[in-house]
């Protein structure tokens, strides 16, 4: 076995089991060193299919390397490093172990070339990410992690059924581009969309991610939905249904984020919104759109992690997460405020930030294909993103009213992680060619045209004006926002009550039957019992039967 046959994600998975048994200093070295070793392996792998393993009559490809898989594996490794740096103060080793298994399996999904090994990595990811939420150790985290796990088991069930149907139909386990035109491919697509947080199965994200720890949410934001984006890119490019799914996700995320009072739930709904841009681009399916999706997934992981790091720093230092409890923190947390603003500008596609050079490629691909309505909706959605993530999050958390809280910036490692990702947001925005060179197709796109820059500045300017004009209506109160899960929770309650009633009826019928049998058992049944015969008599009878058989056989 050569190094090209070794899946890089196994470095993180195997290294995760060392974390609980080493000292704190060595653990810190492993947390920072393992992702860098993984990144080195990723860039040392030659293009092509390696790590081929035979399973019955099928060949499993554990390492398939091309520009797309290398791009996603690279950002997953960078995210694991920066997230590990941010989480050095995390005392719950169980979370760190789960995170590294989670990240390693995400890289495993990216490099796999067959559906069977993809499913194995996919399901381990679901279990590991569940433990990340569960490791908080509260009653709420237990209930939330259970709902999270059930949602992903449902998606995994759809995926497994789809893979089995696909194998029976095609006789192949190769994971390549397909169309949702058979039962198997439709179920596979549905399983992927559950992990992408596509409505109506999206509430698992906004339900679970905000309940993880200050560091756990940062990791969770990076892997599950982006692996879903990767497999959709790989498996269903150009599937038109994804355009409608993606547009729905975009506006669904915007509306719910605008209604939220919890700063981490605002950013959780924003993940759904941003993944919606990517799903729409996958549905468009052109080379420009595919490059835009890959680039936007790369930049999104960075600026979304930066936003959640700033929110996690506020939570870590104040213990509060409601917008109504926060405000005025820029006075004592200046670095966190600056990093949060940079993340907010990046997600809003502000010029000279990373979001500007990636999201605009998706919009341009819609324009190139004469999809005027889609282009207009994407443009309007960009204004909505600026409203909820670009202005609302930093305004209510760091500015607005003075809450009287005076926490300092978080510890050095958390500040360094935020500065690292803030620098990447600005660096990629100023020098996009470094990212464009890693994309799967040649890039013939120039983001910094006068028309594009002016258009985005006008859009953001008027969005900001609208926000402050409607500020009295934007102020949050202590309310509960009902999501799609309300329907299947209510339906689940009805089904559970119905099953409980059926079981009670069954139990009553069983008890009545037992009572009747007990009454029958009290009857005198001696007259109905067969009379027993002595053993000697039975032996004589058997002997006569045997002799009769012997005589009969001789005569015949």
Report pLDDT digits (tens) over 48-76: 888 788 887 888 889 999 999 999 999 99
Report pLDDT digits (tens) over 7-16: 899 999 999 9
> How far, in Å, are 55, 85, 394 from residue 175 at the CA level?
16, 34, 42
Residue 114 pLDDT greater than 60, yes or no: yes
Number of H helices, E strands in the chain: 22, 2
Percent of the chain with pLDDT over 90: 60
Half-sphere exposure of 94 (CA within 13 A, CB side): 12
Angle between helices 334-347 and 412-430 (to 10 degrees): 30
pLDDT recorded at residue 463? 79
Residues linked to residue 54 through DSSP beta bridges, in sequence order: 59
Q: How many CB atoms lie within 10 A of CB 413?
A: 16
pTM of the model: 0.86
Report pLDDT digits (tens) over 161-196: 999 999 999 888 999 999 998 999 999 999 999 999
Q: How many CB atoms lie within 10 A of CB 128?
A: 22
Report pLDDT digits (tens) over 244-298: 999 999 999 988 888 888 899 999 999 999 999 999 999 999 999 999 999 999 9
Radius of gyration of the chain (CA): 30
> How far, in Å, are 127, 205, 210, 227 from residue 122 at the CA level?
9, 17, 22, 9
* Whether the bond into 332 is cis, omega within 30 of 0: no
pLDDT recorded at residue 548? 56
- Report the distance separating Cα 103 and Cα 121, nearest Å: 10
Report pLDDT digits (tens) over 477-501: 666 677 767 776 677 667 767 777 7
């Amino acid at each position: 076995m050569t190094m090209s046959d070794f899946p890089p994600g196994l470095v993180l998975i195997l290294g995760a089991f060392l974390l609980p048994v080493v000292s704190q200093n060595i653990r810190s070295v492993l947390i920072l060193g393992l992702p860098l070793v993984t990144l080195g392996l990723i860039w040392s792998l030659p293009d092509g299919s390696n790590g081929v393993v035979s399973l019955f009559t099928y060949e499993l490809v554990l390492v398939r390397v091309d520009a797309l898989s290398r791009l996603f594996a690279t950002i997953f490794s960078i995210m694991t490093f920066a997230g590990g740096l941010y989480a050095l103060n995390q005392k719950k080793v169980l979370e760190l172990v789960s995170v590294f298994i989670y990240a390693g399996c995400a890289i495993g999904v990216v490099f796999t070339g067959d559906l069977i090994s993809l499913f194995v990595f996919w399901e381990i990811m679901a279990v590991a990410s569940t433990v990340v939420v569960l490791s908080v150790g509260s009653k709420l985290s237990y209930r939330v992690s259970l709902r999270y796990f059930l949602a992903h088991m449902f998606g995994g069930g759809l995926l497994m059924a789809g893979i089995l149907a696909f194998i029976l139909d095609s006789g192949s386990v190769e994971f390549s581009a397909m169309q949702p035109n058979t039962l198997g491919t439709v179920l596979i697509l549905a399983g992927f969309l559950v992990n992408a947080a596509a409505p109506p199965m999206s509430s698992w994200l906004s339900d679970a991610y905000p309940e993880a720890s200050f560091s756990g949410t940062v990791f969770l934001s990076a892997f599950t939905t982006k692996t879903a984006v990767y497999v959709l890119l790989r498996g269903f490019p150009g599937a038109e249904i994804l355009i409608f799914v993606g547009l729905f996700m975009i506006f669904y995320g915007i509306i719910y984020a605008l209604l939220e009072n919890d700063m981490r739930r605002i950013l959780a709904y924003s993940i759904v919104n941003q993944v919606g841009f990517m799903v729409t681009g996958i549905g468009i399916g052109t080379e420009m759109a595919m490059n835009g999706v890959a680039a936007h997934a790369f930049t999104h992981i960075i600026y979304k992690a930066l936003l959640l790091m700033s929110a996690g720093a506020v939570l870590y230092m104040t213990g509060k997460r409601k917008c109504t409890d926060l405000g005025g923190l820029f006075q004592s947390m200046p670095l966190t405020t600056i990093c949060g603003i940079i993340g907010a500008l990046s997600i809003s596609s502000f010029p000279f930030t990373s979001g500007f050079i990636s999201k605009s490629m998706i919009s341009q691909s819609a324009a190139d294909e004469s999809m005027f309505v889609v282009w207009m909706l994407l443009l309007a959605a960009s204004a909505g993103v600026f409203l909820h993530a670009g202005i609302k999050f930093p305004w209510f958390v760091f500015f607005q009213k003075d809450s009287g809280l005076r926490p300092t910036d978080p510890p050095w490692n958390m500040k360094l992680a935020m500065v690292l990702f803030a620098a990447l947001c600005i660096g990629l925005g100023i020098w996009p060619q470094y990212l464009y060179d890693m994309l799967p197709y040649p890039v013939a796109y120039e983001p910094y045209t006068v028309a594009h820059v002016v258009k985005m500045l006008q859009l953001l300017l008027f969005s900001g004006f609208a926000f402050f004009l409607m500020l009295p209506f934007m102020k949050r109160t202590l309310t509960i926002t009902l999501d799609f899960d309300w329907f299947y929770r209510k339906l689940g309650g009805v089904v559970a009550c119905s099953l409980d009633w059926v079981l009670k009826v069954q139990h009553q019928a069983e008890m009545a039957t037992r009572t009747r049998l007990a009454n029958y058992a009290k009857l005198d049944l001696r007259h109905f019992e067969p009379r027993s015969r002595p053993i000697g008599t039975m032996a004589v009878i058997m002997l006569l039967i045997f002799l009769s058989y012997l005589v009969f056989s001789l005569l015949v």
